[in-house]
């Protein structure tokens, strides 16, 4: 990134991280790298994280009423929608693709019993938070981050590209089908699936189970994939602040 910045010489450079960067064991190493390459890394304030993610995910929606965004992370999953005050409000559910993989997966292929354990645990966690989830009538669910974008490429059997995956629709039936297909593969075979990000191959099954549980809790059967999320939201927020 430092080389790219030096070559392109942008007017503004932003290096932002979510609050999780403070919590991980190697967080200090990240900030040290930023200082080394003269790219100061800022933490997105907790009270702005939901708004920034939602603004990025819904950037191309004129009407955001009834639109919710699901952001599957490694340690937790955010569900964000407009609150009664018209501002985005997020609910953090304590399920993430890395967390659930570490909790339940003992090897690859992933055993059917382990897949069922992941599904049951994710459903339980979402329903524990159901009172906090968006209660208003939802017309659209947007899925952001690596799990839905990778799956969209895999389902189309093509190498990943933004144009390919943005706006692609994934149903609960699709999720169940591909959970079973990918879980049945050993890790090397899964990594070689066209469209798969090899670095995500070990955790994508858990990520898909989380998406399935989220849709069930929201009483919806489909999501729309967006390549836009927190990064786009950061850029939008910065542009507004510079006016």
Q: Which residues of the chain have pLDDT under 50?
A: none
**Residue 102 resides in a domain:** yes
The per-residue pLDDT for 39 is 84
152 and 61 in one domain?
Answer: yes
25 and 84 in one domain?
Answer: no
**Residue 66 resides in a domain:** yes
- Is residue 80 a contact partner of residue 144, using CB atoms and an 8 Å limit? no
**Residue 155 resides in a domain:** yes
**Residue 240 resides in a domain:** no
**Residue 242 resides in a domain:** no
Query: For the chain, how many structural domains are there in total?
Result: 2
111 and 22 in one domain?
Answer: no
Q: How many CB atoms lie within 10 A of CB 12?
A: 8
pTM (predicted TM-score): 0.88
**Residue 243 resides in a domain:** no
The per-residue pLDDT for 22 is 66
128 and 31 in one domain?
Answer: no
Residue 135, CB half-sphere, CA atoms under 13 Å: how many? 6
Angle (nearest 5°) at CA 68 between 66 and 70: 170
Q: Which domain holds residue 124?
A: 46-232
100 and 15 in one domain?
Answer: no
Q: What tens digit of pLDDT does each residue of 160-176 get?
A: 999 999 999 999 999 99
171 and 150 in one domain?
Answer: yes
185 and 215 in one domain?
Answer: yes
107 and 8 in one domain?
Answer: no
Sheet with 222-225: list strands edge to edge.
88-93, 77-82, 67-72, 140-144, 222-225, 169-171
54 and 30 in one domain?
Answer: no
The per-residue pLDDT for 29 is 85
The per-residue pLDDT for 23 is 67
The per-residue pLDDT for 11 is 82
**Residue 131 resides in a domain:** yes
Q: What tens digit of pLDDT does each residue of 19-47 get?
A: 667 667 777 888 888 888 888 888 887 67
120 and 58 in one domain?
Answer: yes
The per-residue pLDDT for 218 is 94
195 and 133 in one domain?
Answer: yes
The per-residue pLDDT for 241 is 72
Q: Domain holding 98: CATH number?
A: 3.30.420.150
203 and 223 in one domain?
Answer: yes
């Amino acid at each position: 990134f430092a080389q790219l910045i030096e070559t392109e010489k942008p007017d503004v450079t932003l290096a932002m991280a979510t609050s999780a960067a403070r919590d991980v064991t190697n967080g200090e190493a990240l900030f040290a790298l930023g200082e080394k390459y003269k790219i100061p890394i800022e933490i997105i304030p907790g009270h702005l994280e939901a708004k920034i993610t939602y603004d990025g995910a819904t950037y191309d929606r004129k009407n955001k009423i009834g639109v919710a965004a699901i952001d599957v992370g490694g340690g937790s999953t955010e569900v964000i929608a407009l609150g009664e005050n018209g501002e985005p409000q997020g609910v953090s559910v304590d399920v993430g693709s890395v967390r659930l993989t570490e909790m339940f997966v003992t090897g690859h292929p992933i055993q059917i019993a382990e897949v069922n354990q992941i599904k049951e645990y994710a459903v339980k966690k979402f329903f524990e938070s159901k009172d906090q989830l968006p209660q208003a009538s939802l017309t659209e669910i947007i899925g952001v981050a690596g799990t839905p974008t990778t799956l969209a490429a895999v389902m189309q059997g093509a190498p990943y590209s933004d144009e390919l995956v943005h706006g692609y629709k994934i149903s609960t039936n699709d999720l169940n089908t591909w959970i079973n297909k990918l879980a049945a593969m050993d890790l090397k075979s899964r990594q070689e699936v066209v469209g798969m990000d090899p670095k995500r191959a070990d955790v994508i099954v858990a990520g898909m189970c989380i998406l399935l549980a989220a849709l069930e809790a929201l009483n919806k059967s489909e999501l729309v994939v967006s390549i836009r999320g927190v990064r786009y939201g950061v850029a939008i927020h910065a542009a507004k602040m510079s006016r």
